[in-house]
Amino acid sequence: MSLTRLLIKDFRNIENADLALSPGFNFLVGANGSGKTSVLEAIYTLGHGRAFRSLQPGRVIRHEQEAFVLHGRLQGEERETSIGLTKDKQGDSKVRIDGTDGHKIAELAHLMPMQLITPEGFTLLNGGPKYRRAFLDWGCFHNEAGFFTAWSNLKRLLKQRNAALRQVSRYEQLRPWDKELIPLAEQISTWRAEYSSAIAQDMADTCQQFLPEFSLTFSFQRGWEKETDYADVLERKL
């Protein structure tokens, strides 16, 4: 879907703004401090539920205001969708989709897939593996219907298992967690590998346009040896 209209209220230095956007390219032009980056951050926040320059809601709410309000109109091939996000200084959020409340931020992310590119974006290449995992997970989230549920359950089980590790002395005591954790980890690893393979050729073709003298290849490396079962890895690390 394309974002064709954006309404901003009390976000950063913007009191009120109503922007009509092109479904193609849009250029924001203005003096320093006029709010260009704030508009980009408002779009990002509408799709992610959080700003990219600050994790504290109070810092992006306009001075002496209690909350910010963002609304957007999305144009798809067959229908139009309206979305809205309100967040107060305590971090409480209200999500509205097509006039109804009670929705989750994850639903906004499904409707507004986007990728932020900034000067700090090189962390995808020269940063730690967590940045590349996050990049792959974002793609899997938009391509696999069951990914978010599996990913959330995996995070929960890992947290519980790590807490249990401090209290047990034998691997058998961890089997209840591992029985659920292992298939989730292997499924998520499979999704990551499939998504990596799917975008590898597009990435290589794009790089070829800018660096024709180079030939780039991409490969996915999971967090354990290819010939080893994840269950064996968990048991060995006890």
Binding positions for ATP are 30-37
Binding residues: 30-37
Burial class (CB in 10 A: 0-12, 13-18, 19+), 182: middle
82: helix, coil or strand? strand
Give yes or no for a contact between 11 and 74, defined as CB atoms under 8 angstroms apart. no
Find tokens 């290819």 and name the residue.
Answer: 226
* C-alpha–C-alpha distance, residues 138 and 156, integer Å: 18
Specify the pairing of strand 14-20 against strand 2-11: antiparallel
Quickly count: other Cβ atoms within 10 Å of residue 39's Cβ.
21
H or E element that contains 81: strand 80-88
Token digits of residue 43: 């779009």
* C-alpha–C-alpha distance, residues 108 and 1, integer Å: 12
Q: CA 162 → CA 31, 83, 158, 185, 238, distances in Å?
A: 50, 38, 6, 15, 10
